[in-house]
C-alpha cells in the first residue's frame, strides 16, 4: 500500500478553520513531517479590509481522531526545532478550547504550519493503517509595535 494523505478544508472563515485529514499507509511508508495545515494558505482574517490579513499562526482547539491500531500519530508545530503538540493513538478526542487551546509555542523559526508524523507503536506491527483527524483551529497573527 502506498502512502496517501489528504487534507480537506471543511470551513475556512475569517477566524476559524476546520480541516479533515485522512490517510492510508503501510509502516514502510509512514509519513514524517508532512504539512497538513498551513495558515498562509487559508483565507484572510479580515475580508474586505485593506492591508495584510493573512494568519501566521493557528491555535488548536479541538481534535477528533481515529488511528489504526499499532500506529501513533504526532501533531507537530513546525519551527527550527519542531515541538510536538500531541501524540494520538487509537480513537478519541482532545478538547482544549476551555483552557485557551494548544498555542504555538515552538520558538525560533516558527512557520505556523501543523505537521504530521506517524510511527509504529511497537505493541503491534500493522500491515496497513488508516488515519482520520478532524481539527478545529483559530487563526491569529503576532502583533508587532505599530500594529503591522
46-77 pLDDT, tens digit each: 766 655 678 889 999 999 999 988 889 999 99
Domain extent listing, the chain: 4-140
pLDDT at residue 138 is higher than 70: yes
| 3 state DSSP class of 14 | coil
Which pLDDT score is estimated for 137?
A: 96
CB 54 within 8 A of CB 44: yes
Just give the CATH number of 4-140.
2.60.120.1330
Nearest CA to 5 among 138, 129, 136?
Answer: 129
Query: Mean pLDDT lowest for which of 1-15, 31-45, 64-78?
Result: 1-15
User: Across residues 127-140, what is the average pLDDT?
Assistant: 91
pLDDT at residue 18 is higher than 60: yes
pLDDT at residue 90 is higher than 70: yes
Look up the pTM and report it.
0.88
pLDDT at residue 1 is higher than 60: no
Q: Dig out the grid coordinates for 84 from the structure.
A: 510536538
Which pLDDT score is estimated for 125?
A: 65
Of all residues in the chain, what percent carry a pLDDT higher than 70?
86
CB 21 within 8 A of CB 132: yes
Amino acid at each position: 500500500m502506498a502512502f496517501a494523505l489528504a487534507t480537506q478544508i471543511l470551513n475556512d472563515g475569517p477566524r476559524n478553520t476546520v480541516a479533515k485529514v485522512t490517510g492510508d499507509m503501510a509502516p514502510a511508508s509512514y509519513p514524517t513531517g508532512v504539512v497538513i495545515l498551513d495558515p498562509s494558505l487559508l483565507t484572510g482574517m479580515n475580508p474586505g479590509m485593506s492591508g495584510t490579513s493573512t494568519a501566521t499562526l493557528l491555535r488548536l482547539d479541538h481534535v477528533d481522531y481515529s488511528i489504526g491500531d499499532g500506529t501513533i500519530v504526532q501533531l507537530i508545530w513546525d519551527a527550527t526545532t519542531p515541538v510536538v503538540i500531541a501524540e494520538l493513538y487509537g480513537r478519541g478526542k482532545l478538547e482544549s478550547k476551555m483552557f485557551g487551546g494548544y498555542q504555538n509555542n515552538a520558538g525560533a523559526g516558527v512557520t505556523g504550519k501543523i505537521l504530521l508524523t506517524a510511527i509504529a507503536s511497537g505493541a503491534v506491527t500493522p500491515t496497513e493503517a488508516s488515519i482520520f483527524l478532524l481539527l478545529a483551529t483559530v487563526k491569529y497573527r503576532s502583533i508587532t509595535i505599530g500594529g503591522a
